[in-house]
Structure 1
Amino acid sequence: MLPTDVTLPPLDDLLGTARVVTLPLVTRFRGIELREAMLLEGPNGWTEFSPFTDYGDDEASHWLAAAVDFGWAPTHPLLRESVRVNATLPAVAPGEVAHILDRFPGCRTVKIKVADFGQVLADDVARVAVARQYLGPEGRIRIDANAGWTADEAEKAIHALAGFDLEYVEQPCATVEDLAQVRQRVKYMGIPIAADESVRKAADPLAVARAGAADILVIKAQPLGGITAALAIIAEAGLPAVVSSALDTSVGISMGLHLAAAIPQLEFDCGLATASLLAMDVTDAPLLPVDGQLSVQRIIPSTALLASQAATADRTNWWLARLERCYELLR
């Protein structure tokens, strides 16, 4: 899973710089209110290992490969100094939409979470309607169902939301077969289908492209094993890519920015402004959008914030043990 030109550093080198933080979110997102992450320092600078806590070691080991790739591997040429980014709107009530979107100054695109557990299609329509009003007619709206619909539910929902001029629909269904079916059903409407989980959680991340099940790939650096691996997937798939984060700290977002900056053609705004969803970060200068863009840069964590946001001893030990298990899988 590591690039061929990268040697796995000694475990003691990783353990020696490991810092674990617990960061509060502005609003509940992906079912959590606190985000845990481990930061590591390599020869290239700081890097991040932050698979969600419910992920097994096999999946989490890809995230460790990404951390090693960003911290220890030769860097890729950067083709741009900044990246346009989208706002991310959790599945909040309509009255909270403006408060959330105000945290993304200058962003012309909003990704809206839909199909959330416990909500119905009418909730999604209401949320998207307020976001469209907030953005105005020139703004871009994409929706993300996180595989929450069946093919029939997806078709119905896309019809209900099409009037808001959708840029694309991200991962409406769980399986590649259902994605392909939905793509065919709504093709006449001119609404593209993007694949996220079918890329980053798949044994074969290229299967969705080979099946003609998506028009766009949503690429996350950490789950795919790092920048080197992600660039190879994008090149072989031959589809437009949107680089996104996984609710990372600004250190992890920096990894995503370096990936986005290395892609030859970047047609869409990227989902890398998620530091705006954190109430606290690991740097005094978090990667927050300015005029809808983020500058491509490495992040050096603040010593004071690493201390004030440090995880408890029990949680730190849990992460250190996880790091060791994933290291053995990579070795």
Structure 2
Amino acid sequence: MSDDIPDLDDLLATARVVSLPMKVRFRGVLQREILLFRGPAGWAEFSPFPEYNDGESAAWLRAAIEAGWQGFPAPLRDAVPVNATVPAVPPADVPAVLARYDGTQTVKVKVAERGQGVDEDVARVAAVRAALPQAQLRVDANGGWDVPTAVAALGRLADYRLQYAEQPVPDIAGLRSVRLQLRRAGIDVPVAADESVRKEEDPLRVAREDAADLIVVKVQPLGGVRRALRIVAEAGLPAVVSSALDSSVGIRAGVALAAALPELPYACGLGTVSLMAGDVAAGPLVPAGGQLRVGDVAVDEDLLDRFAAAPERRRWWLDRLRRCHARLAGETLEV
């Protein structure tokens, strides 16, 4: 067994599985399931989305073990700026979503939602721009467009002064093509890579292939704060720290990464607890004045009980934890 991986029994001893309700549908999710456990350094979150396989999910477990057993690097700043996130809602709902965020001056707008078209994306971005004329706006397609659609859509959306477009197409070759075509057309929309960093076996490939102007980094998918810091350093590109729809425990790790980066040129996508109707901390990590303070999170036992997942979902998550732990520890479970 690897020396830096605690025994499975140590994880299971404090494991709690919760199902947190969302205020709005986000990534198709209305209930966010999360497994938490507590190590010597504090509470940790393991929450890969249900569709992720064990190989991908093992990195999320390594990040949780770092948080619970090692803790975080020393911060270089005591607060980090964060953006508001507007899901793929109708334009009329945009003001209510923005009202959940205190003092934000940067907004990420979800686009390319399955079942919607570019006209709906433009209307949503226009509604955000109308509500916040001076804000920084960015869009996130989660790889939902093909190259021609991305170039055409961003040509239209550029009228709303975009800070950048996140993962407009699914693959690295497509990102590079979109970036080059935008440049040739004189469309000033930088391209950010998210899935092409966190879902690739080689997270530095996007930088080597000149496929993005900046990268989006998330603690859990990249295997922890320290590994994410190394990836940013080696990529040599500006970085945005974002969340994976975490509870306050997972957001705390994202804040630790943002606080430890030598440079933090962009607001972070760490305000997503504002989209949740429940959390595990009595004092949830939601922005105040457009920022999140660096500090520990106090998990509330009553909230763990209130949002406890159904028994069959708890069993599902504990089985997943066992399999991912076996991968990290170099063991093989019998099927």
**Shorter-chain TM-score above 0.5:** yes
Aligned to 2:236: 238
1:128 match: 125
Q: What is the Cα deviation at residue 312 of structure 1? A: 1.1
- For the residue of structure 2 that corresponds to 1:103, the secondary structure is coil
* 2:99 matches 1:102: yes
**Greater Cα offset, 70-79 or 226-235:** 70-79
Q: Which of 10, 27, 31 is equivalent to 2:28? A: 31
Q: Match of 1:152? A: 148
Moved more, 67-76 or 265-274: 67-76
Match of 1:320 in 2: 318
Secondary structure of the corresponding residue to residue 296 of structure 2: coil
Deviations along 1:175-228, one digit per CA (max 9) or x if unpaired, are: 101100111111232221000000011111100000000011000000000101
**Residue in structure 2 matched with residue 254 of structure 1 by the alignment:** 252
- How do 1:83-98 residues align onto structure 2 when only pairs under 5 Å count? 83-98=80-95
SS in 2 for 1:182: helix
The residue matched to 2:203 in structure 1 has which SS? coil
Residues in 2 aligned to 1:13 and 1:148: alpha-carbon distance in whole angstroms: 40
Structure 2 residue aligned with 1:219:
217
Query: What per-residue deviation string (whole Å, max 9, x for no partner) do you get for residues 58-117 of structure 1?
Result: 111110000011111253120011100000000000110000010011010000000100
| Partner of residue 332, structure 2 | none
Distance 2:40 2:104 in 1: 34
Structure 2 unmatched ranges of 5 or more: 330-335
Give the Cα separation in 1 of the matches to 2:310 and 2:176: 45
CA contact (8 A) 1:275 1:287 kept: yes
1:46 and 1:298 in contact (8 A); partners too = no
d(CA) in 2 for partners of 1:189 and 1:152? 14
**Normalising by structure 2, what TM-score?**
0.96
Distance 2:27 2:189 in 1: 25
Q: Secondary structure of the residue that 1:189 maps to in structure 2?
A: coil
- Show structure 1 runs of 5+ residues with no match: none
- In structure 2, the partner of 1:55 is 52
Find the aligned partners of 2:138 and 2:165 in 1 and give their Cα distance: 6
71-80 or 94-103: bigger deviation: 71-80
Tell me if the contact between 2:18 and 2:308 (Cα under 8 Å) persists in the aligned partners. Answer: yes
Cα distance in 1 for partners of 2:237, 2:67 equals 24
**Aligned mates of 2:269, 2:72 — CA distance in 1:** 22
Aligned equivalents of 1:217, 1:71: Cα separation in 2: 26
Counterpart position of 1:162:
158
* 1:196 alignment counterpart: 194
Runs ≥4 residues deviating over 6 A = none
1:306 alignment counterpart: 304
Q: Distance in 2 between matches of 1:119 and 1:191?
A: 22
Q: 2-side partners of 1:149 and 1:245: how far apart?
A: 22
Q: Secondary structure at the match of 2:221?
A: coil
Does the 8 Å contact 2:280/2:299 carry over to 1?
yes
RMSD over equivalenced CA pairs, Å? 1.0
Which amino acid in 2 is paired with 1:78?
Answer: P
The whole-number CA distance in structure 2 between the counterparts of 1:306 and 1:264 is 35
Equivalent residue pairs, number: 326
Task: Note if contact 1:193-1:216 (Cα within 8 Å) is conserved in structure 2.
Answer: yes
Do the aligned partners of 1:104 and 1:289 also contact (CA within 8 Å) in 2? Answer: yes
Equivalent position to 1:78, from 44, 62, 75: 75
TM-score (norm 1): 0.97
CA shift for structure 1 position 283? 1.1
Aligned residue type for 2:142: N
Give the drift of 1:296.
Answer: 1.0
1:180 aligns with 2:176: yes
Residue identity (%) = 52
CA distance in 2, matches of 1:75, 1:94: 39
